[in-house]
Amino acid sequence: MADEKPKSGARAAQEAGTRQAEDALRQGADQLRNQMGNMADMAGMSAKVSQEMIQRSGQNFEMMKRIAEAMASGARSAASECAEYAKHSAKRQTEMMQQLSSARSPNDLLDIQNRYLQDNLKELLAFSERLSRLSADKAREASEKLDQKR
């Protein structure tokens, strides 16, 4: 009987230790589950943020592409206008040279030069106006393309 009390005391201590170990394991498992849930939530948020960033980058790229297209179109139109102006200038200059060669007096020379300068000034102002309109049209077009995307 005396032997049974120490055994039952040792057994009670062993059972208490086992229960404590089981409780500690349960608590550790619960904490691990909570941490894994938190990590899954964080991974989900990270994936969502990454997806939004990719989407916005795509939208920004599309917007930049539209702007570049509008700028390229504007540059082509401006180059066309410049070529047309240069062509007209060369033609007017050739005509002026022919007129100068057929001038009969110094007054005729001055009149031809005066008309040439006036015509050139008018043509330059018209060219400037066309380029300004073209620039405004292309800016409006680019703005509309940006507004369509929003």
- Mean of per-residue pLDDT scores for the chain: 85
Report which of residues 4 and 34 the model is more confident about.
34
Give the Cα separation of 9 and 88 in Å (integer): 116
- The DSSP output letter for 63 is H
Tokens 């369509």 sit on residue: 148
Q: Any idea how long the chain is? A: 150
Instruction: Give the angle subtended at the CA of 75 by the CAs of 80 and 82, to the nearest 5°.
Output: 30
Side-chain half-sphere of 146: how many Cα atoms within 13 Å? 12
- pLDDT band of 1, cuts 50, 70, 90: very low
Judge whether 73 and 137 are in contact, CB under 8 Å.
Answer: no
What pLDDT was estimated at residue 13?
77
> Can you give the residue range of the structural domain that contains 89?
4-149
Report which of residues 134 and 147 the model is more confident about.
134
Q: How many domains does the chain have?
A: 1
What pLDDT was estimated at residue 150?
59
Structure tokens at 70: 């509008």
- pLDDT band of 12, cuts 50, 70, 90: confident
